[in-house]
Amino acid sequence: MYRKGLAVTTDCNSRYVFADPYVGTMIAVAEAARNIVCSGGEPLGVTNCLNFGNPYDPEVYYQFTEAIRGMGEACRKFDTPVTGGNVSFYNQSPDGPVYPTPTIGMVGLLDDMNYKMSLDFKNEGDAIYLTGKVVDDIGSSEYLHKIKGVEFSTVPYFNLDEEFRLHEILRKLVREKMILSAHDLSEGGLIISLLESAFPRALGFSVSHTVSDIRNDAFWFGEAQGRVVVSVSAEGKDDFEASVKSSGIPFMALGSVTTGNINVNNENWGSVRDWEKEYENALPSFLNNSKGENALSPI
């Protein structure tokens, strides 16, 4: 049956934009396009919701103008015209302005729903690959902010041309049914992408870090852009590797899908269901642990 479909996403990481408004906003557009492509769609157009502080503050005005510049460049690259949106200024409290948050909404077209793609791992024994460039970078990551307590850092690695080429090969892989799942890397890095791919079917994974010149925390928790985790059937590995290699896109084998336990670098991290429970209860746990303090205080 031939059916068309729509893919819709909204994306923005205000910490990236605060670190570099120009690159951070390009990343917001690129992540939106990456999500559309990972679903099997073709990006069509953009709307936006641009949230900033007082524009008479020179720093805020700089953030706003650079965000517009970054959005324009990325939208031209992905051929996604901005069809509308809104600007909201004066978003601030006595503690100061909010982080600049140019939220990007993007719509894409699936011209045949038979080629839709999902993020979930499908079968035990499927191979797991990371596509895109691996970089020794933890800038502006959740890990660096929340675990290491570094509030301000550089924007994560991003290259617009590399991102565009990654989308091209992903579309080919989807259309030729060479992959079984696709999930982009964003907040939380590689380990979060793997967990989110494992949760829907309660499948686990066994993966390892084999890149000697990349520090361990950057490999698992870094948020360098332009990367996607895919799974491939055991019998389809050769065709997949040949296709990606011919495209010039970097890729690496991470490991395989398992029945329900998580193994990282030969360490047993326990059941995927336990990790899912922690993941789903993160916000209630955060609010419960606030002990009456204002857990949602302004940035």
When the pLDDT of each residue in the chain is averaged and rounded to a whole number, the result is 95
What is the band of 211 on the pLDDT scale with cuts at 50, 70, 90?
confident
- Pick the range with the lowest mean pLDDT from 52-66, 145-159, 240-254, 282-296: 282-296
Alpha-carbon torsion 21, 27, 28, 30, what sign? Answer: positive
Q: What are the structure tokens assigned to 229, written together?
A: 């985790």
- In this prediction, residue 294 carries a pLDDT of 43
Give the model's pLDDT for residue 290: 61
What one-character-per-residue DSSP string does 42-94 give? Answer: EEEEEEEEEE-S-TTSHHHHHHHHHHHHHHHHHHHHHT--EEEEEEE---EET
Q: Provide the residue count of the chain.
A: 299
Across residues 15-27, what is the average pLDDT?
99
SS3 7: strand
Predicted confidence at residue 282, as pLDDT, reads 87
Distances, alpha carbon 130 to alpha carbons 127, 151, 224, in Å:
10, 28, 12
State yes or no: pLDDT of 298 exceeds 90.
no
User: Any residues with CB less than 8 A from the CB of 130 and at least 6 apart, and which?
Assistant: 190, 227, 228, 229, 251, 252, 254
CATH of 127-283, one of 3.90.1150.10, 2.60.120.260, 3.90.1010.10, 3.90.650.10: 3.90.650.10
| Residue 68: pLDDT over 60 | yes
Distance CA(142)–CA(19), nearest Å, equals 13
Q: Is 115 exposed, middle or buried (0-12, 13-18, 19+ CB in 10 A)?
A: middle
Q: Quick: pLDDT tens for 90-116.
A: 999 999 999 999 999 999 999 999 999
pLDDT reported for residue 296: 37
Percent of the chain topping pLDDT 70: 96
Confidence of residue 288 (pLDDT cuts 50, 70, 90): confident
Tokens of 130: 């990371």
Q: Taking residues 200-216, what's their average pLDDT?
A: 94
Give the confidence band of 1 by pLDDT, cuts at 50, 70, 90. Answer: low
Question: Is residue 141's pLDDT more than 60?
Answer: yes
Distance in angstroms (rounded) separating the CA atoms of residues 182 and 99: 30
Q: Domain map of the chain by residue range?
A: 5-114, 127-283
Pair 272, 191: CB distance under 8 Å? no
Helix (H) or strand (E) holding 238: helix 237-247
- The 3-state DSSP class for residue 296 equals coil
CB burial readout 86-100, b (16+ within 10 A) else e: eeebebbeeeebbbb
The token duo for 103 is 């939220």
Residue 50 φ/ψ, nearest 5 degrees: -100, 110
Q: Which DSSP symbol is given to 240?
A: H
Strands 261-264 and 204-207: parallel
pLDDT digits (tens, 9 = 90+) for 173-197: 999 999 999 999 999 999 999 999 9
Six token digits for residue 277: 């429970």
Taking each helix axis as running N to C, give the angle between helix 272-280 and helix 189-198, from 0 to 180 degrees, rounded to the nearest 10. Answer: 110
Residue 9 CA: distances (Å) to CA of 45, 112, 173, 203: 11, 19, 21, 25
Q: Could you give the percent of the chain with pLDDT greater than 90?
A: 92
- Specify the CATH class of 5-114 in words: alpha beta
Specify whether the CB–CB gap between 232 and 240 falls below 8 A.
Answer: yes
Q: Quote the pLDDT of residue 170.
A: 98
